[in-house]
């Protein structure tokens, strides 16, 4: 299957982030999938300003835990956040597990973590105001569709070896 590439625009965060409670203080991402158009890379991390290929700073909201793929600032030393599911209001139901893991050092790729996987898996969602659930899976190209980052956390598996989500 030919890889779909997306033209990504980052807009000011006035909408509810697609990843609910897992994403805090972040820019909201929206994308229009266009065959043959290369994804636009952002030179600096929107939070810590790391440039492409450089490690995120310690407190960066964008950095992922390289052991579990979740937001790194949500890990405590040696403990990880476990996502149990998505709440009816669109938030993420989480728990904690002490396991002594090392979060590693994520680097800024030029794109928001998980966007490439959503495109590869063709996972999109639209926000439904007062909906239950708030985010509804839709086909690519649906007006208002954004990358379904919630679904990655719930349905995909993080590969520490590949440093990405897999199915």
Q: Which residues of the chain form contacts with Zn ion (CB under 5 A)?
A: 45, 47-48, 50, 56, 60, 62, 65, 75, 103
Enter the tokens of residue 97.
Answer: 């597990």
Tell me how far, at minimum, the Cβ of 68 lies from Zn ion, in Å. Answer: 6
Kindly tell me which of 74 and 134 has the beta carbon lying closer to Zn ion: 74
Nearer to Zn ion, 37 or 41 (CB): 41
Work out the number of other CB atoms within 10 angstroms of the CB of residue 77.
9
What is the radius of gyration, based on Cα positions, of the chain?
Answer: 15
Between 75 and 145, name the residue whose CB sits nearer to Zn ion.
75
Cβ–Cβ under 8 Å, residues 127 and 135: yes
What b/e sequence results for 47-76 when a residue is b if at least 16 CB atoms lie within 10 Å of its CB, and e otherwise? bbebeeeeebeeebbbbbbbbbbbbbbbbe
The least distance separating Zn ion from the CB of residue 72, rounded to whole angstroms, comes to 6
Q: How far apart are CA 86 and CA 88, in angstroms?
A: 7
Shortest distance (Å) from residue 61 CB to Zn ion: 7
Which of 48/140 has CB closer to Zn ion?
Answer: 48
Structure tokens at 126: 């639209």
Q: How far is the CB of 80 from Zn ion (least distance, A)?
A: 5
């Amino acid at each position: 299957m030919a890889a779909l590439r997306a033209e990504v625009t980052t807009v000011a965060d006035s909408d509810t982030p697609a990843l609910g409670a897992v994403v805090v203080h972040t820019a909201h991402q929206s994308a229009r999938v266009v065959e043959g158009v290369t994804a636009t890379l952002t030179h600096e991390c929107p939070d810590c300003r790391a440039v492409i290929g450089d490690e995120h700073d310690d407190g960066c909201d964008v950095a992922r835990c390289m052991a579990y793929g979740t937001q790194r600032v949500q890990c405590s030393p040696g403990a990880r956040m476990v996502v149990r599911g998505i709440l009816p209001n669109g938030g993420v139901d989480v728990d904690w597990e002490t396991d002594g893991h090392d979060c590693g050092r994520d680097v800024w790729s030029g794109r928001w973590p998980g966007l490439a996987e959503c495109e590869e898996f063709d996972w999109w969602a639209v926000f439904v105001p007062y909906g239950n659930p708030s985010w509804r899976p839709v086909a690519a190209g649906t007006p208002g569709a954004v990358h379904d980052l919630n679904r990655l956390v719930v349905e995909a598996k993080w590969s520490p070896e590949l440093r990405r989500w897999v199915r």
